[in-house]
Amino acid sequence: MKKHFFFDLDNTLTPSKSLIEPAHVPILKALCERADVVVVSGHGEKDIRKHLTPELDGMYYILGQNGNRAVTKDGTVLWNHSLSPEQKTAIKAFVDWARDELKQSGVVVSVKDERDIWDDRDSQIAFSLIGHNLPKPEKDAFDSDFKKRRDLMKKAEASGEVEKLTKANVEARIAGNTVIDLFALGMNKGYNVGEFIKKIGWEAQDCLYIGDALFPGGNDDTVNGVIETHGVKDYRETYEYISEVLK
């Protein structure tokens, strides 16, 4: 059994942007009691704690906003990397381009709340193609296989939009069921997991990362090659895996 377990949050530990299922709390708690658990998510610290409920608070480390805010189990902040105004301007331009492209292609014609597509988390902007706070069934049905966002990112690459982000020192990664995460170039999950391991003093061979977006372009993909990884289809599969590990 590994000593240190790193987990994505949405669709890996919890349903997307939802609370952990009650039946899964004792399973994750048991792992926290036997090994180190680190939650690596595009969400901010407050949302991560909310989604994992107070019952688990203080039992895991947090690498929020794709690892750009690192917090120990006792709440000590190890680092926090905020986006600059210039980076946010470049992200806004990319989002405007993406929304126009989605409308022209018929993927997204309109959204119910224009304010709901943009979530500024300080170290990261989370762009939801249809809205962060739509009912869960609508979000689950939108792009669960990631195809719409993969196609969008291919068009962004071909049209030079990705190059514009790169020049502004910004990186884009697919996350969750409706989201593209945008943050400082190179400051992705893989980089921050590696920095966290060095900061804490762990050995990479003792670590394992579990996530649902380990495919090229997914926000978990950058962890490949940093530490050992294990892909899951969804959060249910995660807890089946943890249960096997705990036997």
Q: What is the DSSP string of 41-96?
A: -SS-HHHHHHHH-GGGTTSSEEEETTTTEEE-TT--EEEE-PPPHHHHHHHHHHHH
Per-residue pLDDT, 130: 95
Amino acid at 69: R
pLDDT over 70, % of the chain: 100
Per-residue pLDDT, 53: 96
Is 62 within 8 Å of 70 (Cβ atoms)?
A: yes
* More confident site: 200 or 176: 200
Structure tokens at 187: 């400051």
**Could you read off the pLDDT of 24-82 as tens digits, one per residue?**
999 999 999 999 999 999 999 999 999 999 999 999 999 999 999 999 999 999 999 99
Per-residue pLDDT, 108: 86
pLDDT band of residue 227 (cuts 50, 70, 90) is very high
How far apart are alpha carbons 10 and 41 in whole angstroms? 8
| 226-246 as b/e: b if 16+ CB within 10 A | bbbbebbeebebbbeebeebe
pTM: 0.85
**Could you read off the pLDDT of 134-174 as tens digits, one per residue?**
998 999 899 989 999 999 999 999 999 999 999 999 999 99
**What structural domains does the chain harbor?**
4-81+187-246 (3.40.50.1000), 85-184 (3.30.1240.20)
Per-residue pLDDT, 112: 86
User: Looking at residues 174-195, what average pLDDT do you find?
Assistant: 95
Is 241 within 8 Å of 223 (Cβ atoms)?
A: no
User: Looking at residues 178-202, what average pLDDT do you find?
Assistant: 96
User: Looking at residues 173-183, what average pLDDT do you find?
Assistant: 93
